[in-house]
A and B are shown apart, each in its own frame.
Chain A
Amino acid sequence: MTVRQPARVLGKAAGRLATMGPGFGFLTVFLLVPLALVLSYTVFRRGRFGGVVYEPTGENFTRLADPLYLDVVVGSVKLAAITTLLALLLGYPTAYLIARLPARWKVVALVAVVLPFWTNFLIRTYAWIVLLNSEGPVNSGLKALGLRPVELLYTDGAIVAGLLYAYLPLMILPLYSAVERLDPQLREASANLGARPARTFWSVTLPLSLPGVLTGCVFVFVPSLGNFVIPELLGGGRRIMVGNLIRDQFLKARDWPFGSVLALAVIAVLVLLLFAQAWAARRAGRGA
């Protein structure tokens, strides 16, 4: 035993290294080091021709308070929030009904939700250019009804439609798995005790599915905030979102430190929301 012990310890370490070594080695070099690099850029001065000069400064953070950029941040948060709310309003009833379908139709309904998600993101965005164009099907329909055509493309509404289209499945899936897991007996108990369906929903179903709601909200809100393609293609560049600003700092303005600060802000929002989600999951777990 005393002889085998070191060999076993060695064998365990070898197993660990052989399985996780390559993967975590790769992630360290190509994910952690790059992230640390971006993080470090936030406190340095920009180089005149891009890149970074290693002189410490706090001005990248103070620039965030510049009304010009504050407007961008507030505007993006607003559009991402509207998108998330709409996704929730459409997604919750959909997920709820899917969970109540017979097993066979459940699979069909779920695959149908995911299917558009598996098509190219740019093509999905392009579809909305076609739909919302001033001569597109929506406006032709309005004209056929004798109504005046409206400008749909290159508006905030078009951006929200595009974001909603891109991320709605990411709302429905976690909602579905949250609603599906609910014990039907809880709802029956609530009904038997005389609660009306609305009351049962607000005090039983919704609180217990809250972790799924929050997961869905994170999955829709965060990528909406960081998206730069949809505001460009559907907003016509009139509305600049945080994603556009980050892209421009890295590829056009060549102000990497400020771009890094903006990226850090997006990560901070993500971390905050993930903590809220974990908190809700713990609470719901205790209640069930």
Chain B
Amino acid sequence: MRRHGWLRLPFWLTYLFLYAPIVVLVVMSFNRNRSPYSWGGFSLDWYGTLAGNASIRTGLVNTLIVALGSTALSTVLGTLLAVGLARHTRSRLLDALSTLPAILPDLVIAIGLLAFYSAVKLTLGLHSVLIAHTVFGMAFVAAVVRARLGGMDTSLEEASRDLGATPLTTFVKVTLPTLAPGIVAGALLAFTLSLDEFVIAFFTAAPSEPTLPIVIYSMVRFGVTPEINALATLLLAVSFTVVIVAQRLTRLTEALK
């Protein structure tokens, strides 16, 4: 480390850059002043205002419906896809197709789905966002589960087959339990991505049923309001907890291996 003395400057600059804005938001959320730029003493007022904001509550409920639904669908489709890709084909084309939604810019997926929904005359609503989020959620679940499959011992599956189990029994009793940590990690990833996703939801949601990021977008467009600081702090606390818990979980499963 001592040999790389001059490298420390960009290193610490990176972390300062990443965390300074977050610290400012959190501190401001406890500021009594309406103007977010001068300190008027500690207060939880903005959290109270936030709790009373009906559009944020509706947005949160909509977001949770979309995230839970698309995570469930993504997890089933993505897990099956990962098993199929690892065990039943060597096609590089199919492989590439399964990762395509994760690589394509969100805007491209968004306009594609908007065009498609309009061509088949599907009314927009939470269901159209749910389908859209499954498109990329599935790709991430498949990638995470495949990573787990790569390190998996195939002899257990072979033993199950040799002992006369049907492919379905082998899949349910042997493959799935071994893959469980990967499936949970993939599902968590799909859920978090859906919670935060804005661009695709912006194109595929009905104006009457906005998700939370769409509500935040319309608030932010009108400028700085201290309520958003409070909301930001809460969302930060949730994401940080999820990431740290997930980190602990993976370390735990690795230790158990």
| Interface residue ranges, A against B (CB under 8 Å) | 11-12, 14-16, 18-20, 22-24, 26-27, 30-35, 37-38, 41, 51, 89-94, 96-98, 100-101, 107, 111-116, 118-131, 133, 135-137, 140, 164-165, 168-169, 172, 197, 222-223, 225-226, 228-229, 232-233, 243, 246-247, 250-251, 256, 259-260, 263, 266-267, 270, 274
Cα-based distance from A97 to B5 in the complex (angstroms): 10
**Contact at B112–A124, with CB atoms within 8 Å?**
no
> What are the 8 A-B residue pairs with the smallest beta carbon separation, nearest first?
A19-B84, A34-B112, A20-B84, A23-B81, A127-B21, A34-B116, A93-B10, A226-B105
Cross-chain pair count, CB within 8 angstroms: 245
**Contact at B78–A23, with CB atoms within 8 Å?**
yes
Most chain A CB within 10 A, of B84, B105, B244, is at: B105
- Is B43 positioned at the interface, with any CB of A under 8 Å from its CB? no
**Contact at B24–A130, with CB atoms within 8 Å?**
yes
**Contact at B24–A127, with CB atoms within 8 Å?**
yes
Whole-angstrom distance between the Cβ of B75 and the nearest chain A Cβ: 11
- Is B163 positioned at the interface, with any CB of A under 8 Å from its CB? no
Whole-angstrom distance between the Cβ of A214 and the nearest chain B Cβ: 14
Whole-angstrom distance between the Cβ of B174 and the nearest chain A Cβ: 14
B102-136 residues at the A interface, CB under 8 angstroms: 103-109, 111-116, 118-119, 131-132, 134-135
**Contact at A246–B115, with CB atoms within 8 Å?**
no
Which of B46-54, B176-184, B220-228 contacts its partner? B220-228
Return the contact of B217 from the options A33, A94, A229, A250 (Cβ within 8 A): A229
- What residues on A are CB-neighbors of B216 within 8 Å? 120, 122-123, 126
Q: Which residue of B lies closest to A264 (CB)?
A: B108
Q: Which residue of A lies closest to B37 (CB)?
A: A135
Cα-based distance from A168 to B114 in the complex (angstroms): 29
**Contact at B111–A26, with CB atoms within 8 Å?**
no
- What residues on B are CB-neighbors of A131 within 8 Å? 20-21, 24
- What residues on A are CB-neighbors of B224 within 8 Å? 126, 129-130, 133
Cα-based distance from A95 to B42 in the complex (angstroms): 38
- What residues on A are CB-neighbors of B217 within 8 Å? 122, 229
**Contact at A19–B108, with CB atoms within 8 Å?**
no
- What residues on B are CB-neighbors of A90 within 8 Å? 10, 13-14, 17
Whole-angstrom distance between the Cβ of A162 and the nearest chain B Cβ: 10
Main secondary structure of the interface of A (DSSP, over half): helix
Q: Which residue of B lies closest to A127 (CB)?
A: B21
Q: Which residue of B lies closest to A25 (CB)?
A: B77
Whole-angstrom distance between the Cβ of A255 and the nearest chain B Cβ: 12
**Contact at A38–B111, with CB atoms within 8 Å?**
yes
**Contact at A250–B101, with CB atoms within 8 Å?**
no
The proximity string for B residues 154-192 relative to A, scoring 1 for CB distances below 8 Å and 0 otherwise, is: 000000000000010000000000000000000000001
Whole-angstrom distance between the Cβ of A196 and the nearest chain B Cβ: 12
**Contact at B81–A20, with CB atoms within 8 Å?**
yes
- Is B209 positioned at the interface, with any CB of A under 8 Å from its CB? no
Cα-based distance from A134 to B192 in the complex (angstroms): 34
10 chain-A/chain-B pairs, Cβ below 8 angstroms: A31-B112, A111-B247, A125-B220, A128-B21, A129-B223, A130-B21, A131-B20, A133-B224, A226-B105, A232-B221
Cα-based distance from A127 to B6 in the complex (angstroms): 29
B75-92 residues at the A interface, CB under 8 angstroms: 76-78, 80-81, 83-85, 87-89
**Contact at B100–A31, with CB atoms within 8 Å?**
yes
- What residues on A are CB-neighbors of B235 within 8 Å? 119-120, 123
